[in-house]
């Protein structure tokens, strides 16, 4: 069965610090990978996604993520966080179309609550 593991449940850091959130998945087929973010009081929204090609993907608000196939990982990074990055971050995995019946179904990790202090 497909599963997604996020390494940290809570992260607290100061403004200007670097952020890295770990995500590992367990899945036998070809996957698409996502990071979603949920700011306080707002919709869950897409931060970035990986389908194929360059394993280093850039998203909105200065975030980037690196897909390492050999490690089944898709870690999220930001070199310098701001107070406005306080949010909950979710890693998600979807099976690739034509490879499995899990196509279009997202499997989410448990989420990481990030708090950035001024």
Partner 1 sequence: DGGITQSPKYLFRKEGQNVTLSCEQNLNHDAMYWYRQDPGQGLRLIYYSQIVNDFQKGDIAEGYSVSREKKESFPLTVTSAQKNPTAFYLCASSPHGTQSGEQFFGPGTRLTVL
Binding residues for partner 1, per CB under 8 A?
4, 6, 9, 32, 34, 36, 42-46, 49, 51, 90, 94-98, 103-106, 108-111
Min CB(47)–partner 1 separation in Å? 11
- Alpha carbons 23 and 45: distance in angstroms, whole number: 18
Q: Which of 22, 24, 31 is nearest to 3 (CA)?
A: 24
End-to-end CA distance of the chain: 41
Nearer to partner 1, 46 or 115 (CB): 46
Q: Which of 33, 36, 57, 58 is nearest to 45 (CA)?
A: 36
Least distance in angstroms from the C-beta of 80 to partner 1: 27
Q: How far is the CB of 17 from partner 1 (least distance, A)?
A: 24
């Amino acid at each position: 069965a497909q599963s997604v593991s996020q390494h940290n449940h809570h992260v607290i850091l100061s403004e200007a610090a670097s952020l890295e959130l770990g995500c590992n998945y367990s899945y036998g087929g070809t996957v698409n990978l996502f990071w979603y973010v949920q700011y306080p009081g707002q919709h869950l929204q897409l931060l970035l996604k990986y389908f194929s090609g360059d394993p280093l993907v850039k998203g909105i608000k200065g975030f980037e993520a690196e897909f390492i196939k050999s490690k089944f990982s898709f870690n999220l990074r930001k070199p310098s966080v701001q107070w406005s990055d306080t949010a909950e971050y979710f890693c998600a995995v979807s099976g690739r179309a034509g490879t499995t019946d899990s196509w279009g179904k997202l499997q989410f990790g448990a989420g990481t609550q990030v708090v950035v202090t001024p």
